[in-house]
Amino acid sequence: MDISKINVELFRFINDIGKEYAFLNSTFIFLAEYMVYILALLTILFWFSRKLSNRMMVISAMISFMLAEILGKIAGQLHSNKQPFVELPHVNQLIEKTVNNSFPSDHTILFFSFCVTFCIFHKRWRYIWISLAFLVGLSRVWVGVHYPADVIVGALISTVCAYFIAIMVPRLPILKKRLLE
């Protein structure tokens, strides 16, 4: 079985769970569509805590996301696929989505960029951050708008970017100086 068929089979497995356990659909719709607002609120709260480490974390997360998004767009030029609800019959599509290239998942890039960065800076909460990012990625498959490969590649790109940026950004003397002002 080739990777494409595995991707479709894994999509079917996850997406069909929503047909069998429909009572979970509202939770996954919330994760897929609205959890981004909670992430934004948490990011704002971290910034306004006025702690240097939290501000460094927020800046690192934003730069990580920008870098990951650029790399994701490049990956999307190298490989392209439409959303599963466009390409496959009988998809349990739970949210509306514009038809475009779904590779890699932008939501997954966003959540893994921020959550992995938050995990690096706040190790005590690492299981919560990683679980949140994982659940948002899973939710994008559950609601029928991404294949598992879209999510996995988005997670890998943003995780690498988050670690790279979390090492580099705090070492920038100009940034420390500006944040202390």
Domain for residue 16, yes or no? no
For residues 3 and 152, the model is more confident at 152
Displacement of CA 146 from its chain's centroid (Å) = 12
pLDDT band at residue 176 under the 50/70/90 scheme: low
Q: If you average pLDDT over residues 4-15, what whole number do you get?
A: 95
Domain for residue 6, yes or no? no
Domain for residue 157, yes or no? yes
- Domain extent for 60: 26-180
Domain for residue 85, yes or no? yes
Q: What pLDDT was estimated at residue 45?
A: 97
Domain for residue 88, yes or no? yes
pTM of the predicted model as reported, rounded to 2 decimal places: 0.92
Q: Are 57 and 115 in contact (CB under 8 A)?
A: no
Domain for residue 12, yes or no? no
Structural domain count of the chain: 1
The CATH number of whichever domain residue 129 belongs to comes to: 1.20.144.10
CA dist 115 and 137 (Å) reads 12
Domain for residue 154, yes or no? yes
Q: What pLDDT was estimated at residue 105?
A: 96
CA dist 143 and 9 (Å) reads 15
Domain for residue 8, yes or no? no
What the block records as the tokens of 174 is 């100009």
Nearest CA among 104, 97, 102 for reference residue 160: 104
Q: For the segment 70-121, what is each residue's pLDDT rounded down to a tens digit?
A: 999 999 999 989 999 999 899 999 898 888 999 999 999 999 999 999 999 9
